[in-house]
Structure 1
């Protein structure tokens, strides 16, 4: 067998592998496009929280229905992506998943006023919560970025709640975000993107503190809160 034939055979195999990878990436892109479109619908649905308190419950129900459709899309991703290649293709769904972590966390907070645990968010998406070297799962960093986006959205909600005459919501938001801020400070963040996003949290905290302070000096805090501060 000539050397030229050997080289041609080797590079033909390379081309075959490249073609197969490109086909898989196209499949992944198409799935992510559909799933990402659902996240945009959910974002639109949940914008009602900023201007109509009465419709929040219905918005959460609609979001839950859309999460189920998104879960089906993640199921397709799990089938398409080889178990050993999660991190090879992660960039296709990373930002989309961060948005879903934010939207799911926001929905659960609106429903129950609590933090959505990592495994709960993963369950809603229908994927594993276990950080594995192999297999499709919810990356912890994506979950944490989603929580930081949640803080930004809640700081905005604190301002808009006052505009609607709801003076209790900013206090609820303040307590929740302060607890999250304390939790994040326990972490030794080395990821550049996550670290930069965390650095922005201080501005969200400051905005919420200003809202609560303004309510305090205007005498608009709920009576129970005023009594606590006076004590």
Structure 2
């Protein structure tokens, strides 16, 4: 005879799992909503000159800190469970949050966590902003894969920014972006990526690098870069 208590116990476990999933789903939906707000703020960088970027950066920082608060709530629930049981629920939103952080950092934000001349926020810098969610934690944490995905998204966004900067009459920024994305591309070539999704996405980097190079090449053909330099010297 089979004891019905076995199935009652299993149903209890199912109910507990459903409750955790529902709580995490609610919090990740809030994170996704906040993320859209942050990225909407950061998208202003495509339509305003560099001299006016600081207000956008400040607004983006405030929005990101709201996301950090929600991530803390997700961590509070998830850290009581096996990490890889639920991480698929939040990993894409973590990638998007980290992308916003490193883009905001590239635009001049989060100066308190980096060296003055540092253009790219390191994974440790991002972990500090996320209040300790670094890869050396066994509980809820920022993974290396999430950081690398965010970096690829940054390259894609900067390729767009290079084009839009020219539209705004800023001929120096594409040069800055070109050197930066080339450095990132060189860094990715060092990596031996095992994650299939990450490896596929990294293949797109060279196309975005070429996109920026084409912008710089077109500027040089039109002598716009030389004109800008001479104007700066005068």
**C-alpha separation between the residues in 1 aligned to 2:79 and 2:149?**
25
Give the structure 2 partner of residue 220 of structure 1.
224
Consecutive unaligned residues of structure 2, counting only runs of 5 or more, are: 110-117
**C-alpha separation between the residues in 2 aligned to 1:213 and 1:159?**
12
Q: 2:215 aligns with which of 201, 211, 218?
A: 211
**C-alpha separation between the residues in 2 aligned to 1:166 and 1:82?**
46
In the TM superposition, residue 223 of structure 1 has moved relative to its aligned partner by 6.2
Give the structure 1 partner of residue 10 of structure 2.
14
Give the structure 2 partner of residue 146 of structure 1.
150
Contact 1:83–1:136 (8 Å) recurs in 2: no
**C-alpha separation between the residues in 1 aligned to 2:227 and 2:120?**
26
**C-alpha separation between the residues in 2 aligned to 1:85 and 1:61?**
36
**C-alpha separation between the residues in 2 aligned to 1:66 and 1:222?**
39
Contact 2:67–2:97 (8 Å) recurs in 1: no
Q: Secondary structure at the match of 1:114?
A: coil
Give the structure 1 partner of residue 196 of structure 2.
192
**C-alpha separation between the residues in 1 aligned to 2:131 and 2:29?**
18
Give the structure 2 partner of residue 35 of structure 1.
31
CA RMSD, 1 decimal = 1.7
Give the structure 2 partner of residue 175 of structure 1.
179
In the TM superposition, residue 126 of structure 1 has moved relative to its aligned partner by 2.3
Contact 2:64–2:100 (8 Å) recurs in 1: no
Contact 2:162–2:215 (8 Å) recurs in 1: yes
Q: Secondary structure at the match of 2:107?
A: helix
Give TM-score scaled by structure 1 length. Answer: 0.91
Q: 1:106 aligns with which of 77, 83, 103?
A: 103
The list of structure 1 runs, each at least 4 consecutive aligned residues, that deviate by more than 3 angstroms after superposition, is 222-226
Give the structure 1 partner of residue 88 of structure 2.
91
Give the structure 2 partner of residue 120 of structure 1.
125
In the TM superposition, residue 55 of structure 1 has moved relative to its aligned partner by 3.5
Q: Of the two, which has the highest radius of gyration?
A: 1
Contact 1:46–1:56 (8 Å) recurs in 2: no
